[in-house]
Amino acid sequence: MQVLHHPGDCSVGRACAVTIGAYDGVHIGHRLVIDRVRRVAAEQNLASALVTFDQHPAAVVRPESAPKVLTDLPQKLELLASTKVDYVLVVHFDQERSEESAEDFVREVLVGCLSARAIIVGHDFHFGYKRRGNVPMLQDLGAELGFDVTGIRLLPDEPGGDAVSSTRIRNLLAGGSVGEAAALLGRPHQVRGIVAVGDARGRELGFPTANVALPNEIALPSDGVYAGWYYRPDGVRRPAALSLGRRPTFYEYAELSLLEAHLLDFDGDLYGEEARVEFVAHLRPQAKFESVHELVDQMVRDVATTRHVLGVADVD
């Protein structure tokens, strides 16, 4: 996969079958659309291309209500690479871009950069200034500029279910349903951050944790305790009991949730490294304990449950 940027050198030098969207999460619905693009490209001897943005358009258009994102740009590009699409064009999205007409965007980006001959999008796709661009508008422009347009319905994950969407996945995460979210993503939800120095209370309790500082714009599950995996920079995966919350046993009020990962059967220095943390299963809600002893007893049970969920034997 070749990554291009606009503005910049964005010409691929050959005609393309193209799809466009935020592609936040690169979930199973997105992958079906990309598969369709690749199939059309192969049938028509075209390159396959995907157009996305360097930030979620809502962060510019309506920042006060913009959704938290499932993937930042580097992770999104990693996931898109696994789809084997030929080109990804990353468009810089700012206030000026948000005021660009849909027609100008098609001429400048889809045709100007990618020489689009086929465009495949969701049937209810909207884009451009005030979301005035849609499938009928694309079809009218296609007749003039020489490309075909296909609007496809996003499929539900099960008969009679709702369509797979990034919004639906965010809602599942907000309810702690990380297993259901993983089914729609096609993988466990993963967050990334740097291990920061904490208050060392976990070590004092016998359960040292890596405090993972996360970007504010990333979507998180609801506060609670989870079983999951912790990936170190060298790619080694370790089982972990995860606590996401405001530590009510020790703090009356904390403004932000903190992600703490207790790596099972590990004793080492993690400070300053980039962590990748996956949420596999929700174990229980956050709770305030009457004593440290009660908390430690519960942590012992949480670790045992984490081992069971992840299929990890106790080294003792």
Q: How far apart are CA 20 and CA 128, in angstroms?
A: 12
Position 271 in a domain: yes
Q: Look at residues 133, 152, 171 and tell me which one is the last residue of a structural domain.
A: 152
User: Quick one: 26 and 132 in the same domain?
Assistant: yes
- In the chain, the number of structural domains is 2
User: Quick one: 125 and 231 in the same domain?
Assistant: no
SS3 276: strand
Of 11-15, 248-252, 286-290, which gets the smallest average pLDDT? Answer: 248-252
Q: Are strands 189-196 and 210-213 parallel, antiparallel or unpaired?
A: antiparallel
Q: pLDDT of 15-61, one tens digit each?
A: 999 999 999 999 999 999 999 999 999 999 999 999 999 999 889 98
Token readout for 52 is 């996305």
User: Quick one: 111 and 249 in the same domain?
Assistant: no
Query: What's the mean pLDDT when you consider all of the chain?
Result: 88
Position 316 in a domain: no
User: Quick one: 141 and 197 in the same domain?
Assistant: no
> What percent of the chain has a predicted confidence (pLDDT) above 70?
91
Q: pLDDT of 62-116, one tens digit each?
A: 988 889 999 999 999 999 999 999 999 999 999 998 899 989 999 999 999 999 9
User: What are the angstrom distances between the C-alpha of 293 and each of 58, 92, 209, 296, 299?
Assistant: 46, 52, 18, 5, 10
Q: So what's the pLDDT on residue 249?
A: 47
Token readout for 310 is 């992840």
User: Quick one: 140 and 202 in the same domain?
Assistant: no
SS3 13: coil
Of 115-119, 183-187, 296-300, which gets the smallest average pLDDT? Answer: 296-300
In 3D, which of 57, 40, 56 has the Cα closest to residue 48? 40
Per-position DSSP letters for 231-269, written without gaps between them = E-TTS-EEEEEEEEE--TTT-S--SS-EEEEEETT--S-
Top mean pLDDT of 148-162, 171-185, 203-217 is at 171-185
SS3 12: coil
Of 97-101, 175-179, 195-199, which gets the smallest average pLDDT? Answer: 195-199
Of residues 12 and 176, more confidently modeled: 176
Q: So what's the pLDDT on residue 129?
A: 80
Position 171 in a domain: no
User: Quick one: 228 and 291 in the same domain?
Assistant: yes
Q: Up-side HSE of residue 240: CA atoms within 13 Å toward CB? A: 27
Position 142 in a domain: yes
First to last CA, the chain: 45
Task: Provide the pLDDT confidence category of residue 198 given band limits of 50, 70 and 90.
Answer: low
Residue 182 pLDDT greater than 80, yes or no: yes
Q: What range defines the domain where residue 38 resides? A: 2-152
Task: Provide the pLDDT confidence category of residue 248 given band limits of 50, 70 and 90.
Answer: very low
Q: So what's the pLDDT on residue 316?
A: 57
User: Quick one: 29 and 131 in the same domain?
Assistant: yes
Q: How far apart are CA 56 and CA 63, in angstroms?
A: 10
Q: Look at residues 152, 170, 204 and tell me which one is the last residue of a structural domain.
A: 152
Contact 69, 50 (CB under 8 A): no
Residue 250 pLDDT greater than 60, yes or no: no
Q: How far apart are CA 21 and CA 86, in angstroms?
A: 16
Q: So what's the pLDDT on residue 85?
A: 97
Torsion of CA 90, 96, 102, 108, to 10 degrees: -60
User: Quick one: 103 and 214 in the same domain?
Assistant: no
Residue 63: cis peptide before it, omega within 30 degrees of 0: no
Maximum CA pair distance of the chain? 73
Q: So what's the pLDDT on residue 287?
A: 74
